A and B are shown apart, each in its own frame.
Chain A
């Protein structure tokens, strides 16, 4: 398998002297997936907190449903978003198909259930711990949710990273709604799929290595932010 060696050489070559195209593709990947992660957190964390603290009829069924949505296949999400945003679909008048916005929408739909389900579990455990204190302090539902989100922030950061990981790695959804258009909607994963289909396996693998390096970089950045924040908190 000389492909591995060739892929390593190519990956290093690309990293050492990046072309404009590569920077553009990497930039779009990050922009789309990070935006989707932020949106998914804005939607998913409150939903998770609500499910963690509220007791209502049918709650069990809702939890099963949200947990099941974590397994949404990206290509199905892509199809649903395509059918909605297509000119022939209900939101076609927006003209969003084949734009980075459509890709952000698809990835947000894909990872919001992940953020909601995982944060629900974390916040519910935390809530069990704090419930008595909350009652003693006579906090409102909203105040306790705020307290839970704040105290669980480091664990929730990991949840956000799980969502980001899923978003930046998926190819099925962005391929359908973005169209893999050169200089417009091509991201790392669709570029890898394209090079694979051209039989340029070493180049595809090299791009995969760069994607892994980027994911590693994002995780390391978050980790260092978290450590420095914890250190500051300890000193305070």
Chain B
């Protein structure tokens, strides 16, 4: 009996502590764009729950969540997210918000795609022009999207891998740094681009195609598969994000007067 009480006393602070924090496995764009710095203090103030963000590529985030190393998944690759839920990794996927992808390029615009709004045509033009294109090449949400767009454009960029098609195998920021360093076109989400500090002479060359739509989803990790999950806190975070209040907070995040994410959770 005494031993039981002692064990309880020893474990309680940890249990309480665990109740108060969750780990979010997240894509990098939401972190790099500063969204969390804006959003999380509001949530923490209201609920007392601390949110710890591990920002990695979508592919790695899903893998980490599948290993039960997180309470909530917040990424942007719908087919992969749906597969994750179907395999029992998460309880339910909800549309959270969107922004869009853009293709940025150097001021000289060597491929002459500046101002194009048809992304497939623009990619085809870039591939034929001999201009360089820097790809994430890391199985992230952005990379998956880029590969799908190349497919739609009927171009196999892998044929030019190492020549005009450069796969950096790293995050969005690192790829932008590398791409800008070699004068390459780069596809990036708009939020990361607006917030990016090393733009040099780069501007947005291609934007406005519906195919460049970038949907983010939120998924609480499934406690049936991962008993260590902090269910209540994870659920209240997901619920708050898609609530009217959370959605309003997302819409309220602006950099240089520009809104970065557009909430679109089902009402």
Interface contact B174-A196, CB-CB below 8 Å: yes
Residues of B within 8 A of A13 (CB): none
Q: A98 contacts which of B28, B69, B174 (Cβ < 8 Å)?
A: B69
B96 contacts the other chain (CB 8 A) = no
Which of chain B's residues 3-55 have a Cβ closer than 8 Å to chain A?
Answer: 23, 28, 32, 37, 52-55
Interface contact A87-B53, CB-CB below 8 Å: no
Interface contact A198-B32, CB-CB below 8 Å: yes
A61 contacts the other chain (CB 8 A) = no
CB proximity of A12 to chain B, nearest CB, Å:
19
Residues of A within 8 A of B240 (CB): none
Interface contact A197-B172, CB-CB below 8 Å: yes
* A87-B226, A181-B53, A184-B52 known; A201+B68 contact, CB < 8 A: no
Measured CA separation A218–B69 after assembly (Å): 35
Residues of A within 8 A of B176 (CB): 199
Interface contact B228-A95, CB-CB below 8 Å: yes
Which of chain B's residues 107-147 have a Cβ closer than 8 Å to chain A?
Answer: none
B195 contacts the other chain (CB 8 A) = yes
Measured CA separation A95–B23 after assembly (Å): 12
Residues of B within 8 A of A182 (CB): 37, 52-53
A152 contacts the other chain (CB 8 A) = no
Measured CA separation A23–B187 after assembly (Å): 36
CB proximity of A94 to chain B, nearest CB, Å:
11
Interface contact A88-B198, CB-CB below 8 Å: no
Residues of A within 8 A of B69 (CB): 86-88, 97-98
Interface contact B228-A87, CB-CB below 8 Å: yes
Measured CA separation A181–B64 after assembly (Å): 15
Measured CA separation A199–B54 after assembly (Å): 19
Interface contact B54-A98, CB-CB below 8 Å: yes
Interface contact B54-A180, CB-CB below 8 Å: yes
* A92-B68, A97-B69, A98-B69 known; A198+B195 contact, CB < 8 A: yes
Residues of A within 8 A of B53 (CB): 181-182
Residues of B within 8 A of A197 (CB): 28, 32, 171-174, 177
Residues of B within 8 A of A92 (CB): 68, 228
Residues of B within 8 A of A198 (CB): 32, 173, 195-197
Measured CA separation A92–B199 after assembly (Å): 42
Interface contact A199-B198, CB-CB below 8 Å: yes
Q: B198 contacts which of A86, A89, A194, A201 (Cβ < 8 Å)?
A: A201
B67 contacts the other chain (CB 8 A) = yes
A179 contacts the other chain (CB 8 A) = yes
Closest to A97 in B: B69
Interface contact B197-A200, CB-CB below 8 Å: yes
Interface contact A181-B196, CB-CB below 8 Å: no
Residues of A within 8 A of B52 (CB): 98, 179, 181-182, 184
Interface contact A98-B228, CB-CB below 8 Å: no
Residues of B within 8 A of A194 (CB): 32
Residues of A within 8 A of B28 (CB): 197
Residues of B within 8 A of A180 (CB): 54-55
Measured CA separation A92–B67 after assembly (Å): 10
Interface contact B177-A87, CB-CB below 8 Å: no
Interface contact B197-A201, CB-CB below 8 Å: yes
Interface contact B177-A196, CB-CB below 8 Å: yes
Measured CA separation A97–B198 after assembly (Å): 33
Interface contact A88-B197, CB-CB below 8 Å: no
* A86-B69, A181-B52 known; A199+B228 contact, CB < 8 A: no
Residues of B within 8 A of A179 (CB): 23, 52, 54
Measured CA separation A98–B51 after assembly (Å): 13
Residues of A within 8 A of B64 (CB): 86
Measured CA separation A99–B31 after assembly (Å): 19
CB proximity of B211 to chain A, nearest CB, Å:
26
CB proximity of A24 to chain B, nearest CB, Å:
14
- Encoded as 1 (CB less than 8 Å from any A CB) or 0, chain B from 51 to 70 comes to 01111000000001011110
Residues of A within 8 A of B195 (CB): 198
Q: List 25 A-B contacts (CB under 8 A).
A: A86-B68, A87-B67, A87-B226, A88-B67, A88-B68, A89-B67, A92-B228, A95-B228, A179-B52, A179-B54, A180-B54, A180-B55, A181-B23, A181-B52, A181-B54, A182-B52, A194-B32, A197-B28, A197-B32, A197-B174, A199-B176, A199-B196, A199-B197, A199-B199, A201-B197
Q: A residues engaging B (CB < 8 A)?
A: 86-89, 92, 95, 97-98, 179-182, 184, 194, 196-201, 203
